[in-house]
Amino acid sequence: MRSLLTLIACCCVVSAAAGTEKDPLLSPSTKSAVVGAAGVTASMAAASGASSASSAASSAPPRKLTEREKEAQAEADLTARIQERLAIMRANQAARVAAAAKAKKQAAVKEAAVAAIPKVYSNVWSYEGETGPANWGKINPAWAKCGSGNRQSPIDLRDGMKVDLEQITFDYHPSSFNVTDNGHTVQVMVGSGNFLTVGNRTYELIQFHFHRPSEERINGKGFEMVVHMVHKDPEGRIAMLALLLERGKPQPVIQTVWNNLPLEKFDTAAPSEPLDPQDLLPAKREYYTFMGSMTTPPCNEGVLWLVMKEPLQASPQQMALFSRLYPLNARPVQPSGGRIIKESN
Ligand SMILES: [Zn+2]
């Protein structure tokens, strides 16, 4: 850097000397003095050469400078010093401008690099505290519906319109399954080929999972647990069948799931025995229906909810086992926002 500045300074001195004709900082008299001084210097060199040549020949004393020549030389020396000073100042100025431009460029490069990094949002959510339901919509922009949606689930089912609702048709069979504790619930993935038909639309069972206590309420009343059976149609629309659980006799499908719980969270157990989802259905098939959302982030709406009126029974031991894993994994009820709730007569 130092050698570069020296080089710049040298160049400026040269250009300053060369640019004397155009330099607005020099007065006309100074210019003529510079030109004059150059002339004097040249004539002096010539004179000195001539005198040394003549002194070698005749040893004649050197010619004394006239007063005018002395004045011209002094003026030329002063001008040269001014030029030198100006050149240093210009070099310093140029170096400062270059340094500022370089710093600005570096800052712009750094800023662009920061802007190019994709923003990473948290995917961590829970049922309590900072990452709890009240904040889901703020944790990740993709989850905004959790905070701003107006068709959110669960809701308190009340003031339903009692109508002759069509029967839900179930086409369930013994199926392969696997069990995962996914950190939010125990989830059972079910093999293909299990269907539910309602409203001329057929949805395939994908998985079912558990919440404690029940997320749904009926006329303000909650239940000890609920099973959510997630179905999807070929266009990706979701139909969610909710089976409320109350204390009673042991439930065989739930027992099969508990028997096959993996030992570690996020591990999946894939038993060889089948599971028949048909055995989860209540005897009576009356239900409530309304449009809502998934009850976990990202809280997507457009979900057709089907809540069976008759609760299932599970034993206190079966309930207690789940509560050891998940004592609370239910989203609080959301505003119904004037939604139509229909229920079987
Ligand atoms: Zn659920």
Domain architecture of the chain: domains with CATH: 2-54+62-116 (no CATH), 152-344 (3.10.200.10)
| Ligand 1 centroid from CA 200, angstroms | 24
pLDDT for 173-212, tens place per residue? 999 999 999 999 999 999 999 999 999 999 999 999 999 9
Give me the percent of the chain exceeding a pLDDT of 70.
Answer: 82
pLDDT for 12-51, tens place per residue? 444 444 444 444 444 444 444 444 444 444 444 444 444 4
Both structure tokens of 104: 């600005």
| Ligand 1 centroid from CA 295, angstroms | 6
SS (H, E, C) 77-146: HHHHHHHHHHHHHHHHHHHHHHHHHHHHHHHHHHHHHHHHCCCCCCCCCCCCHHHCHHHHHHHCHHHCHH
Q: Which residues surround ligand 1, an ion (CB under 5 A)?
A: 228
pLDDT for 70-92, tens place per residue? 899 999 999 999 999 999 999 99
| Ligand 1 centroid from CA 227, angstroms | 7
pLDDT for 218-250, tens place per residue? 999 999 999 999 999 999 999 999 999 999 999
Calculate mean pLDDT across residues 44-70: 60
Is the CB of residue 177 less than 8 Å from the CB of residue 189? yes
Residue 165: pLDDT above 60?
Answer: yes
Residue 9: per-residue pLDDT: 45
Compute the distance between CA of residue 19 and CA of residue 324 in angstroms, rounded to an integer. 90
Residue 166: pLDDT above 80?
Answer: yes
pLDDT confidence tier of residue 1, bands split at 50, 70 and 90: very low
Q: How far is CA 38 from the centre of its chain?
A: 70
| Ligand 1 centroid from CA 215, angstroms | 8
User: Position 167: which residue type?
Assistant: Q
| Ligand 1 centroid from CA 209, angstroms | 6
Give me the percent of the chain exceeding a pLDDT of 90.
Answer: 76
| Ligand 1 centroid from CA 119, angstroms | 29
Residue 127: pLDDT above 70?
Answer: yes
Peptide bond into 298 cis (omega under 30): yes
Calculate mean pLDDT across residues 270-281: 96
How does the average pLDDT of the chain come out, rounded? Answer: 87
| Ligand 1 centroid from CA 302, angstroms | 15
| Ligand 1 centroid from CA 121, angstroms | 23
| Ligand 1 centroid from CA 301, angstroms | 14
| Ligand 1 centroid from CA 146, angstroms | 14
Quick one: which H or E segment has residue 148?
helix 145-148
| Ligand 1 centroid from CA 244, angstroms | 12
pLDDT confidence tier of residue 316, bands split at 50, 70 and 90: very high
Residue 64: per-residue pLDDT: 79
Compute the distance between CA of residue 13 and CA of residue 172 in angstroms, rounded to an integer. 94
174-196 per-residue burial string, b: 16 or more CB within 10 A, e: under 16 = ebebbbbbeeebbbbbbeeebbb
Residue 58: per-residue pLDDT: 52
Residue 27: per-residue pLDDT: 45
Residue 131: pLDDT above 70?
Answer: yes
- Between 10 and 265, name the one with better pLDDT: 265
| Ligand 1 centroid from CA 167, angstroms | 23
Residue 270: pLDDT above 60?
Answer: yes
Of 164, 124, 221, 209, residue with least CA distance to 343? 164
| Ligand 1 centroid from CA 272, angstroms | 26
The C-alpha angle with vertex 314 and arms to 308 and 315, in degrees rounded to 5, equals 160
Is the CB of residue 258 less than 8 Å from the CB of residue 130? no
CA terminus-to-terminus distance, the chain:
90
Compute the distance between CA of residue 207 and CA of residue 232 in angstroms, rounded to an integer. 10
Residue 116: per-residue pLDDT: 83
Classify the C-alpha dihedral 147-153-157-160 as positive or negative. positive
Reported residue count of the chain is: 345
